[in-house]
Amino acid sequence: MRTPHRAWKALLALLILSAAVAAYPQRIAELNRRARQGDVDAMYHLGLAYESGEGVQQDYAKAATWLRKAADKGNSNAMMDLGVSSGRGDGVQQSYSDEMRWYRLAAAAGNERGMYYLGHMYMHGAGVPINYSKALAWYLKSAEKGNSGAMDMVGLIYLHGDGVPQSFTEAYFWLNLSAVDPSTGSRDDRDSAAAKPPRSTVIKIQERCRKWAESHPQIHFSP
């Protein structure tokens, strides 16, 4: 009697998972070796491993230590993740001021997620007074780098008129760009904005979107 195809697929998936788990100790040992030799990328990924508990026992303090080493050597993703850790108090003392400081450093290094999260802090008043103008400015910086989540936020700000004059044309422009990436879930908001201007205006905005896409980074989502 032959094993059903579904059972074979399940067995293959189990074998692949087992091989991956078996490789964890070797991978962690290699990351440790490279990190202690000054490899910034290894420092960063070792920090991520301790943060997630992938291949090692989860340890937020060790994660923060390695992320800090990578950040001190200029890794903007490590700066970004230290900001998140500071906001949550994972492995470090909870501090909104430190959270913002790390996001600013990441943003200054060109990290679009740092810009995006700075927008969130001003949008929601996390450790700072709510400031829609500053939120919009940081979201726009991130959106210009192709971050669809930031585009979504810019569109919503214009759609609802949060701290800026309400503009359905600007809302549709940014929400239409954001909707290229379905993970942001902005299509209903886009369609709502599109229903307001005349059809001729919508067509012009679509052309504007096309030109924007030709001259900017590929639209993507960076949570």
- pLDDT single digits (tens) 89-101: 999 999 999 999 9
Render the burial of 179-206: b for 16+ CB within 10 Å, e for the rest. Answer: bbbeebebeebbeebbeebeeeebeebe
pTM attached to this predicted model: 0.85
Mean pLDDT in residue range 33-48 = 96
Q: Please, are residues 89 and 74 in contact by the beta-carbon 8 Å criterion?
A: no
Please determine, for residue 16, whether its predicted confidence score (pLDDT) is greater than 80.
no
Q: State mean pLDDT over 211-219.
A: 94
Element of type H or E holding 153: helix 148-160
Q: Is the pLDDT of residue 20 over 50?
A: no
220 beta partners: 147
Judge residue 131's burial from the number of C-beta atoms within 10 Å of its C-beta, 0-12 exposed, 13-18 middle, 19 or more buried. middle
pLDDT at 13 over 80: no
Residues 6+ apart with CB under 8 A from 155: 170, 171, 172, 173, 174, 175, 178, 186, 189, 190, 193
Q: What is the pLDDT of residue 186?
A: 67
User: What is the Cα–Cα distance from 92 to 209, expressed in whole angstroms?
Assistant: 42
Q: State the chain's mean pLDDT as an integer.
A: 90
The pair of structure tokens assigned to 212 is 């924007």
| pLDDT the model gives residue 184 | 67
Distance, CA of 159 to CA of 172 (rounded, Å): 8
Lowest mean pLDDT among 15-29, 56-70, 117-131: 15-29
Mean pLDDT for the stretch of residues 194-206: 96
Task: Please report the pLDDT score of residue 10 as a whole number.
Answer: 52
Greatest extent of the chain over all pairs of C-alpha atoms, in Å: 71
| Average pLDDT for 56-82 | 97
pLDDT surpassing 70 at residue 2: no
- Residue 50, CA atoms < 13 Å, CB-side half-sphere: 22
Residue 176 has pLDDT above 90, yes or no: yes
* pLDDT, average across residues 124-147: 96
pLDDT the model gives residue 15 = 42
Predicted confidence at residue 187, as pLDDT, reads 85
Long-range contacts of 201-206 (CB under 8 A, 24+ apart): 201/169, 202/172, 205/169, 205/172, 205/173, 205/176, 206/176
Interval 43-61 mean pLDDT: 94
Q: What's the CA gap between 221 and 218, in Å, rounded?
A: 10
Q: Which domains does the chain have, with CATH numbers?
A: 17-110 (1.25.40.10), 113-223 (1.25.40.10)
| CA distances, 33 to each of 19, 63, 67, 74 (Å) | 22, 16, 16, 20
Mean pLDDT, rounded, for 6-18: 48
Dihedral sign for Cα 79, 82, 87, 88, please: positive
Burial 53-70 (b: 16+ CB within 10 A, else e): eebbeeebebbbbbbbbb
